[in-house]
C-alpha cells in the first residue's frame, strides 16, 4: 500500500495527466470530427453573432479555444466581442497575450496590435492608443483605420495641429472630401486666438480655413468678428452679409453684432433695410428678435407690438409670443395674476423650443455647436428655420 504522503504528492500529477488525456481526446475528436467539429463550432458561433446573441457566441468560442488554443483568429474574434460588450479588461488581456506569442505572423501581429489599440482607445487610455495607432498609421493595410482613430483622439484632446496633419494623411485613404473638416480644425485654432485677443494669429488660421474650404461659413463668421474687434465695422458688415448669400440660416449667429456695427456707424436706414430684407428672406427667431429690438429703439413699443402681432399671426412661434407678452407688460398692460402666470408659462415653453438640430443623428438643443455633441459630425448640427404654412381664414 502506498504511503499517504505519496498519494498527496502524486495527486497534481494525476490531475494533470488526466487533463492532458482529456485534452488529447478533445483534439483527437476535433480533428476526426466525431463530436466536436472546429469549423462547425465556428459557424455556430458566427450564427449567434449574426442573430445578435453575443453571450452564446462567446460561450461557443471559449469552448473552441479549450480544444485548440492555437487559433489566433478565434482569440481575435473573442477579444473583439469582449470589447464590444464593454469588457475592456478581458479584451485587453487576450490581445496582450496574443502579442506576447513569438510565433505570430506579421499580419497577425499587426491585427492584434490594432485590436489592442482599440481596447486602449475605448478604455480612455488615449496616450497608449495614440502610440499604437501612430505605429499602425505607417502600415498601408492598417493606415485608414489608425488615422481615423487618431483624428478622434486629437479632436477629443483638442490638439488641432495634430488633427490637421493626420486628417491630411487620411485623405489619401478615403474618397470622402475631408477638406471641410480640416477647415474646421483651422477655425478651432482661430477660436483659440480670438479668445486670447490675438487677431493676427486668428486671421492667419481663418485664411487657411478658407483656402481648404472657400465656403466655410464658420471662417466667414470669424473673419467678421476680427474686423468687428478691430473697429472695421463696414468691413465686418460686408463680411457677415455674405453669410446670407452662402447659408442664411447662420445669420442668426452674428445678428446682434451686425446690428451693433450699423449702430456704431450711425447707419439707421442701412440697418432697417438690412433687417427688412433679412426677416422676409430668412425669418429665424433670432432675426425676428433683432428686428423687434430695432423697432422698439426707433419707433417705440407700440409700433413693435403691432409689428409682432401681425408677424405672429402668419408665423406663430413661442419665442415670438414670449417677446410679445414682455412688450405688452412694458406697455403697462394690466399684469394681473392670470396674465403673470400666462407670461411665465409662455416663457417656460419658449425655453424648450429647440433652435438647432443635427441632420445626421437628430440631436437638438438651444446652444450652437460646430461639432455635434451627439455624433461628433462637423457642421451637421444646424440652425432650424421654422417652416410655417400660414392658415388662410375660412
Distance of CA 246 to the CA centre of its chain: 24
SS3 of residue 365 by DSSP: strand
Q: Is 375 in the site for Zn ion (CB under 5 A)?
A: yes
- Within residues 115-174, the interface with Zn ion by CB under 5 A covers none
Compute the least distance from the CB of residue 86 to Zn ion, in Å: 22
From the list 331, 369, 325, the residue with the least C-alpha distance to 347 is 325
Cα 354 from Cα 386, distance rounded (Å) = 11
Smaller CB separation from Zn ion, 173 or 370: 370
**Closest CB to Zn ion among 262 and 356?**
356
- Does position 180 interact with Zn ion (CB under 5 A)? The reply is no
CB-nearer residue toward Zn ion: 91 or 372 = 372
Among 201, 365, 374, 386, binds Zn ion (CB under 5 A): 374
As given in the structure block, the three cell numbers for residue 130 are 495614440
Q: How far is the CB of 220 from Zn ion (least distance, A)?
A: 22
CA–CA dist 276, 217 (Å, integer): 22
When the beta carbons of 319 and 379 are compared against Zn ion, the nearer one is: 379
**Least separation, in Å, of the C-beta of 378 and Zn ion?**
10
Q: Which 314-373 positions form the footprint of Zn ion (CB under 5 A)?
A: 358, 360-361, 363, 372
> At a CB cut-off of 8 Å and minimum separation 6, what does 376 contact?
152, 155
R_g (Cα) of the chain, nearest Å? 32
In the bound state with Zn ion, the residue whose beta carbon lies nearer, of 112 and 358, is 358
Of the pair 180, 377, the CB lying nearest Zn ion is at 377
Alpha-carbon distance of 141 to 348, in angstroms, equals 55
Q: Name the minimum Å distance from CB 359 to Zn ion.
A: 8
Identify which of residues 62 and 375 has a Cβ nearer to Zn ion in the complex.
375
Q: Which helix (H) or strand (E) holds 338?
A: helix 337-352
As measured in angstroms, the least distance from the Cβ of 155 to Zn ion is 14
User: What is the smallest separation between the CB atom of 134 and Zn ion, expressed in angstroms?
Assistant: 28
Residues 6+ apart with CB under 8 A from 383: 249, 250, 252, 253, 284, 355, 356, 368
* Environment class of 38 (CB within 10 Å of its CB; exposed 0-12, middle 13-18, buried 19+): middle
- Closest approach, Cβ 75 to Zn ion, in A, equals 35
Query: Count residues contacting Zn ion (CB under 5 A)?
Result: 8
Binding footprint of Zn ion on the chain (CB under 5 A): 358, 360-361, 363, 372, 374-375, 377
Amino acid at each position: 500500500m502506498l504511503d499517504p504522503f505519496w498519494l498527496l504528492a502524486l495527486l497534481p500529477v494525476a490531475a494533470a495527466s488526466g487533463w492532458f488525456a482529456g485534452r488529447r481526446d478533445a483534439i483527437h475528436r476535433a480533428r476526426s470530427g466525431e463530436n466536436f467539429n472546429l469549423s462547425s463550432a465556428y459557424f455556430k458561433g458566427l450564427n449567434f453573432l449574426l442573430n445578435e446573441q453575443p453571450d452564446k457566441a462567446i460561450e461557443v468560442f471559449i469552448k473552441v479555444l479549450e480544444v485548440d488554443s492555437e487559433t489566433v483568429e478565434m482569440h481575435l474574434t473573442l477579444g473583439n466581442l469582449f470589447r464590444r460588450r464593454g469588457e475592456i479588461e478581458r479584451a485587453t488581456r487576450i490581445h496582450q497575450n496574443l502579442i506576447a506569442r513569438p510565433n505570430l505572423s506579421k499580419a497577425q501581429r499587426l491585427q492584434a496590435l490594432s485590436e489592442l489599440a482599440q481596447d486602449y482607445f475605448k478604455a480612455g487610455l488615449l496616450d497608449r492608443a495614440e502610440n499604437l495607432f501612430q505605429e499602425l498609421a505607417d502600415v498601408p493595410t492598417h493606415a485608414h483605420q489608425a488615422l481615423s482613430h487618431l483624428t478622434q483622439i486629437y479632436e477629443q484632446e483638442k490638439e488641432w495641429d495634430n488633427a490637421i496633419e493626420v486628417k491630411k494623411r487620411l485623405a489619401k485613404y478615403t474618397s470622402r472630401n475631408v477638406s471641410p473638416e480640416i477647415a474646421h480644425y483651422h477655425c478651432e485654432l482661430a477660436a483659440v486666438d480670438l479668445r486670447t485677443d490675438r487677431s493676427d494669429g486668428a486671421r492667419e488660421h481663418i485664411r487657411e480655413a478658407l483656402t481648404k474650404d472657400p465656403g466655410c461659413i464658420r471662417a466667414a463668421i470669424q473673419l467678421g468678428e476680427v474686423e468687428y474687434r478691430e473697429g472695421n465695422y463696414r468691413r465686418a458688415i460686408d463680411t457677415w452679409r455674405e453669410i446670407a448669400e452662402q447659408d442664411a440660416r447662420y445669420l442668426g449667429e452674428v445678428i446682434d453684432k451686425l446690428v451693433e456695427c450699423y449702430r456704431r456707424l450711425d447707419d439707421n436706414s442701412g440697418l432697417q433695410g438690412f433687417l427688412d430684407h433679412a426677416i422676409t428672406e430668412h425669418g429665424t427667431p433670432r432675426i425676428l428678435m433683432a428686428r423687434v429690438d430695432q423697432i422698439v429703439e426707433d419707433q417705440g413699443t407700440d409700433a413693435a407690438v403691432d409689428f409682432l402681432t401681425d408677424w405672429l399671426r402668419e408665423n406663430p412661434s413661442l419665442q415670438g409670443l414670449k417677446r410679445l407678452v414682455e412688450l405688452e407688460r412694458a406697455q403697462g398692460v394690466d399684469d394681473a395674476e392670470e396674465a403673470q402666470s400666462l407670461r411665465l408659462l409662455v416663457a417656460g415653453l419658449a425655453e424648450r423650443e429647440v433652435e438647432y438640430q443635427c441632420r445626421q443623428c437628430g440631436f437638438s438643443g438651444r446652444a450652437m455647436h460646430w461639432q455635434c455633441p451627439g455624433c461628433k459630425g462637423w457642421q451637421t448640427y444646424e440652425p432650424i428655420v421654422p417652416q410655417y404654412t400660414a392658415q388662410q381664414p375660412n
